[in-house]
Every structure is written in C-alpha cells, then in structure tokens.
C-alpha cells in the first residue's frame, strides 16, 4: 500500500465499498434465481400459467362459490347451465363434501389432473365453502396444487388464510387502474355490509385489488391478472394495466375478449386482430397468456378438451 492506497490505486474504504456492492449484487442475483426456480416449480404443471403444460396437464374447477360481492356489467352467472362454455356458469353448485368426492372420483381415473381451482361461479373469497373445500383438498390431496380466481375485493383480508391453506397460484380480474374508468365497468360493490356505487365503489375495489395483488406477490403466490377487453370502454387503456402489473410483480396477464351479455349485451366483442394488437402493446411490460379458453366454473380436464360435466 502506498500513500494510503492499495496497489490498484484505491483507498481501503473505496475497496471495501466496492466489495460490499459486489456482494449485494451477488446476493440479489442469488435471491432472484431462487425466486425464479420457485415460480417455475409452481407453474410447470399449471395449464393456465404455462402453454406447454396445457398440452399435458389438466385442471379441475370446483363450483362451490355461488355468491358474489360485486356486479360486473359483463357478468351473467348461471348455476344450472350445461350448454354454455364461459366463466360464471356451472351445471350445479357443490358442497365442500361433494366437491372432495368429485376430486376423489376424477383423480382415480385421470392422473394428469395437477391443479384444483375454485373459480366461482361467484366470488370465491365471499363464500366460506371455498375455504372448507381448500382445507379438504389439502388434507386429502397434499400433492395437488390449489389455485383461486378472485375479483380481489376481499383479497387483503383473506390473504393470510390463503397462504395457510397452501394456495400457490392466484388469478385476479383487474380491468382498469383508473377508478373513473372502472366505474363504467361495475354497477356496485358490496363491502363491509354496505353497497357502494359509482366512483366510491370503483375506488374501493381498485384499492383493495392493488393492495391484495401486491400482498400476494410479496407472500410468494404466483399471480395472473385477467383483464376483460371491452371495446369503447377500456380497449385503449390496457397498457396502463400491464404497466401496473409489471410494477407489482405479476407473473402474466391474460387479455380476455368481452362476451357481450348482461348490461353490456349491446357492446361488441373485440376482434381477434384487436386482441392481438392489445397483447402486442402490453407484452413489453408483462408476458401475455395466449391460450386461455375462458373456462366454466366447473371445467375439468385439459384446456379445450373438457371431461363430461360432473362426471369422472
């Protein structure tokens, strides 16, 4: 060391600081690698998170959650429907015991089922049967992955319970990040015993969704965001949603075409070309899911190759 400097010409303090920076970078890279490995473990057999997995592995949706706490203007729930293939419909609502019996019978014949999901026909977090069903699945089939779809309103309050029950992947529907836009999509929100409408409803829903999504990501749950593309409403502002998803650490975004029904029955569905353009615009921010089949709440089997309804 010459004149207080080492042979490289650095003061000891500078050298120590450089080493600290390198150590921090190495630790960060190590953490990121570990996180990436854990995410891969959770999605490698999940047909909704991996297109490759969708050709080999199936999922089973348990329709145990009929009640809902928001009114989406594009939603039309049906609990005794056998001839439609879309979200929000099921041939019948199951009790938790009926659901676990169904899983038993399906798993006895179809070993490629790897994911058990609860996706309605209402809001899973607004139905106690959801949590009882998840407990039963965890106890009887601990090797199966459990998944949930939610509107996100109750996600901050229920997140610890979902983690306790072992939910590893979560889908949240997020149609806008501007409450003035969101208020055009939702008629009302029922929260803490009160019906909220207009901007108040949209602000409450959005704040809960964003807090819940960020909390889920921080808790190690792999999150997918579903966004319904609604011409004349949010079609030109989907990039805002994608950028917010990236900021929160969401794994993937699924832009779903509007099915014109309910209060939006007069609107048109986006064309495949419009949806592809939106996906391309959003893809610099977040990976895009391109193989969604907009499944029923009681779908079983490979995506697009469903097993007979309510029958193993």
- Considering only the top CATH level, what class is 44-306? alpha beta
Token readout for 118 is: 């609860």
Q: Where on the phi/psi map is residue 152: left (φ > 0), alpha (ψ -120 to 50), or beta?
A: left
Partners of 191 in the beta sheet?
194
Report pTM: 0.82
Given the structure tokens 């501007």, which residue do they identify?
178
Q: How many CB atoms lie within 10 A of CB 75?
A: 23
Q: What does the pLDDT read at residue 127?
A: 97
| Secondary structure (3-state) at 291 | coil
- The answer to whether 40 touches 52, Cβ cutoff 8 Å, is no
pLDDT (tens, 9 = 90+) of the chain, 312 residues, equals 555 555 555 455 555 655 555 455 444 455 466 667 777 767 776 777 776 766 577 778 899 999 999 999 999 865 554 445 556 556 689 999 999 999 999 888 888 888 898 988 899 999 999 999 999 999 999 999 999 999 999 999 999 999 999 999 999 999 999 999 999 999 999 999 999 999 999 999 999 999 999 999 999 999 999 999 999 999 999 999 999 999 999 999 999 999 998 999 999 999 999 999 999 999 999 999 876 556 666 767 656 556 665 444
Distance, in Å, from the CA atom of 282 to the CA atom of 181, rounded to the nearest integer, reads 18
């Amino acid at each position: 060391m010459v004149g207080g400097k080492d042979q490289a010409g650095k003061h000891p303090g500078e050298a120590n600081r450089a080493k600290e920076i390198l150590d921090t970078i190495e630790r960060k890279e190590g953490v990121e690698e570990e996180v990436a490995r854990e995410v891969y473990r959770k999605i490698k057999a999940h047909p909704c998170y991996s297109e490759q997995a969708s050709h080999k592995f199936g999922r089973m949706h348990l329709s145990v959650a009929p009640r809902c706490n928001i009114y989406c203007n594009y939603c039309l729930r049906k609990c005794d429907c056998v001839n439609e293939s879309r979200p929000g419909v099921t041939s019948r609502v199951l009790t938790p015991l009926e659901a676990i019996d169904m899983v038993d019978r399906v798993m006895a014949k179809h070993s490629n089922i790897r994911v058990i999901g609860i996706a309605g026909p209402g809001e899973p977090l607004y139905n106690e049967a959801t949590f009882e069903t998840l407990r039963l699945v965890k106890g009887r089939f601990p090797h199966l992955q459990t998944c949930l779809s939610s509107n996100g309103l109750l996600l901050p309050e229920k997140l610890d319970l979902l983690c306790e029950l072992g939910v590893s992947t979560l889908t949240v529907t997020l149609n806008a990040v501007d409450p003035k836009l969101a208020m055009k999509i939702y008629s009302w929100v029922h929260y803490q015993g009160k019906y909220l409408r207009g901007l108040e409803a949209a602000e409450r829903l959005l704040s809960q969704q964003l807090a819940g999504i960020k909390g889920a990501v921080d808790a190690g749950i792999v999150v997918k965001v579903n966004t319904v593309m609604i011409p004349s409403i949010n079609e030109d502002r989907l990039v805002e949603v994608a950028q917010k998803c990236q900021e929160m650490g969401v794994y993937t975004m699924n832009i779903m075409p509007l099915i014109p029904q309910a209060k939006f029955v007069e609107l048109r569905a986006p064309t495949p070309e419009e949806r592809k353009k939106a996906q391309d615009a959003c893809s610099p921010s977040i990976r895009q899911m391109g193989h969604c089949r907009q499944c029923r709440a009681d779908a079983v089997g490979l995506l697009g190759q469903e097993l007979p309804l309510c029958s193993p």
